Structure 1
C-alpha cells in the first residue's frame, strides 16, 4: 500500500470525511475530496460491502480501484441501533458527511441533519439524491439515467431517426457528485467565517440541468427546441467526425480564421472566400454540403497525414482515443495523466491521475482502494473512538461491524 509513502500536500489535508452510501454518486464525491487530501472514511455494510467492488469491464473489474482510492474502509451495520450510534460517534468527529441514500433514510436512522448538528455544529452534510431532499418527487428512487432524462440530456443525445442514446459513462451520477463536492468546498468557506456547517443538497436531475447550456432559455424566449443531431451541432460547421484511410478523425474549425487555416491545409485557400462558407452563418446553412466536401478530402489521407497537416496549420483536430491510445500517447505520459498505482495484491493498478492540478498544494493518490470490507476497523475505531480489540471483537461477533 502506498499510504504514508506520498506526503499529503493536498489542500484538504487535515479534514475528515465520512462517506456513507454506495454505488457511484456518493462515492465519487468522496473520491474527489480524497484526491485533494481529505481523510475519507468509507462505511460499508458488514459482509456485503459496496456493489462497486464488483463493477467494471473485463475479467477483473477495476472500477473499485478508482472510486475507492485514498479511502479507509470500516464496516458498520447502519440498520441496527448500535450501528447507528457507532456511525454518529464517527460523524461527531468529522468535518464532512457524504450520503446518497433515498431522502428520509438518515432521518429514519436517527441521523437527521438537525440532530447531527447538535453534536457537531460545524458538520457539512452532502446529500446526493435523484430529485433532491424536497419537492413532490423527493422520495422516489432515482438512478443516474433518470436524472439524465429529467435534466434534458437523454432527449438530445443520438441520431434524430433513432431513439435517444445514452453516454457510455454514468454522467448524471458523476455530475451530481462533482456539484456535491463543489458545494462542500463552498460550505467550508462559510464555516471558516462562522463556525457553522450546513446541508449541501445535490440532485442528479439538477446537476444535469446545469450543463444544458441555453436549452431552457431558448425555449422560454422563442419556443426553440433542441433535438437530437447525431455527431454534429446544427449550425456549427465544420465540426464533425470525418473518415480517414485508416479510421475516423475529428476536426473543429467553425471559427472564421480557423476555417481559413483548414482551407489552406486542404490546399483549397479560396474556399474560405466562397460565399457559401465565408461566414459562420453561411457555413451553418450549408453544413451538410461542407461536411461532405471535407470528408472527401480526409478520406484520401491517413490519420497520421491529417494530424501532421492540421497540427502544423493550427487547426483543432484529433483522433478518437481508446485506452491503448491513451497509454501510448506522449502527452498523457508527459503530464502523468495516467499513473500506475502500487497495490499490495495486484502489483500495480493503472488509472487516471488526480485532477485538477494545483501548483502549490497538489492532490495525489496516496493509497490504493481498500481490499477487504472493514479492513481499517481497528485503526479508525481505535484512533477516533478509543475502542480496543476486545470491544471490536464483540461488535463483530454481534454483526454490528
Structure 2
C-alpha cells in the first residue's frame, strides 16, 4: 500500500538550496510532514559539493532527500537568479546553508527575497553565525563538536578528545532551523510578514551541551571527560556482563535501593556512605569495583530481566543491526519503506515524532537531479518555448 503524504504542512512551498547535511536535515522534516520541497540542484558540472554525501541513490542521499522534487538551476547566471526570485514570489520558505557571504553575492539574501515577497521566511544555517569574526569560515560537524565542547567531555579521562559517532552539530542545527521556521510561520499567521531565521552548527552544538554548559556558566565548573560514566550521577554507565556490556542507570536514592534489592545485597543497601547521590558520586570508583564482579556472573539478557523486574533502568548496547531487530523499535515503526527507482524497496529512518491525525510519511525516494524541472516550471506558467530558452541560456 502506497503511503499517503502528510497533511500537516500541506500547501507550504519550500525552496531548498541546501547541501551536505544540516540544511537537508531541516528540509527533510518539512518534506516528511507534507510541505512541497523543491530541491534546487546545480546543473551538471557546477556543484562543488557533488559526492560529499555519496552517490545520488546511496544510503545518505536517499535518507536526506526523500519526499522532495528536484529542478536544476544555475544561480550564478542572471537568468537563473531572476527565475529563482520569480519562484520566491510564490514560495513560503527558502532554506540555505551557504557561507554567509554567498547569498549576498548571488543577490538572494533576505533583503532581496523580502523585496519580492514580504511573507517569505528565509532560514540560514551556517558554521559559526551570519556575522562575527568566524562568519566566513567553512564549518563542518566535527569542527563544531570540538569548538562547542562536546569532544572535550567525550572519551576516557586522560585520553585524547573524542568525536561523537554521529553528526550531532549538523543534525541538531537542522532541527533548530526547522523549529525556527515553524515559529516564524506561526507568527506570520498573525502579522502577515516573514522573517529571517538563523542558526549555526556552533550555536546548536553549544545548546546540545545543555547541563554541561550550564554547569560552567552557573557554577564555573569545567566538565571533564568521564568515559562511559554519567558525569554527576553514580552508578550510571556501562558495566560488563558475562557475555557483553549493558547500560546501568541508577538515577536516585530509590533506584539505588532497588538495585541493591535486585542484587540481593542488603549489606550494600545498608551502607550510609552510599545512601545519597552525593555520597555515591564521591565513592564512584569504589562502587564500580563492588559491582563489576557481581555483574560478571550473568548474561546481559539475564541482568536486564532482573533489573527490569526491580524497576532499575538498564538496557542493552546495540550495534545498528540489533537496533532495528529490537521488538520495541519494530513496534515504533521508525524504519519506513519506500520504492527507489534504482535500489528498489529500501528502508529509511522515519521522523521520531508522531502526530495523531497528520503523521509524517515517506512517500517518494530521492529524485534525480532536475527530474521535475519542466513540471515545476510549467506549474509557474512557463511554456515549452520559454523552458527551452532558459536551457539555451544556461540557466537550467
- Coarse TM-score class (shorter-chain normalised): over 0.9
SS in 1 for 2:324: helix
Please say if 1:267 is aligned against 2:292.
no
Give the CA deviation at 1:235.
3.5
Alignment counterpart, residue 242 of structure 1, candidates 239, 242, 266: 239
Distance in 2 separating the partners of 1:335 and 1:52: 34
Q: Does 1:376 align with 2:372?
A: yes
Report the Cα distance in structure 2 between the residues aligned to 1:364 and 1:52, rounded to whole angstroms.
27
The answer to whether the Cα contact below 8 Å between 2:79 and 2:393 also exists between their aligned partners in 1 is no
Structure 2 unaligned runs (5+)?
none
Q: Distance in 1 between matches of 2:214 and 2:340?
A: 49
| SS of residue in 1 equivalent to 2:351 | coil
Aligned partner of 2:340 among 321, 339, 343: 343
Report the CA distance shift for 1:234/1:350 in structure 2 as closer, same or farther (over 3 A).
same
Matches within 5 A, 1:1-400: 5-48=2-45, 51=49, 55=53, 61-370=58-367, 372-383=368-379, 385-400=380-395
Aligned CA distance change for structure 1 residues 249 and 221 (closer, same or farther; 3 Å)? closer
Shift of 1:88: 1.5
Distance 1:143 1:249 in 2: 32
CA distance in 2: counterparts of 1:67 and 1:126, whole angstroms = 18
Alignment partners' CA distance in 1, 2:259 and 2:214: 33
Following the alignment from structure 1 to structure 2, what is the Cα–Cα distance between the partners of residues 214 and 38? 34
Task: Report deviation, 1:215.
Answer: 3.9
Change (3 A) 1:173 1:73: same
Report the RMSD for the aligned CA atoms in angstroms: 2.0
Inter-partner Cα distance in structure 1 for 2:99 and 2:349: 30
Instruction: Tell me how many residue pairs correspond in the alignment.
Output: 394
Please, which runs of 5 or more residues in structure 1 have no aligned partner?
none
Following TM superposition, by how much is the alpha carbon of 1:223 offset from its aligned partner in structure 2, in angstroms?
3.2
C-alpha distance in 2, partners of 1:50/1:347? 29
TM-superposed CA distance for 1:185, in Å, is 0.5
Structure 2: how far apart are the matches of 1:273 and 1:327?
41
**Secondary structure of the corresponding residue to residue 275 of structure 2:** coil
Partner Cα separation in structure 2 for residue 234 and residue 8 of structure 1 = 43
Contact 1:130 1:147 (8 Å CA) reproduced:
yes
**1:244 Cα deviation from its structure 2 partner:** 1.3
CA-CA distance at 1:345 after TM superposition: 2.2
Residues 22 and 50, structure 1, Cα contact 8 Å, conserved in 2: no
Residues 123-150 of structure 1 show CA distances to partners (whole Å, capped at 9, x for unaligned) of 0100000111122221222222222222
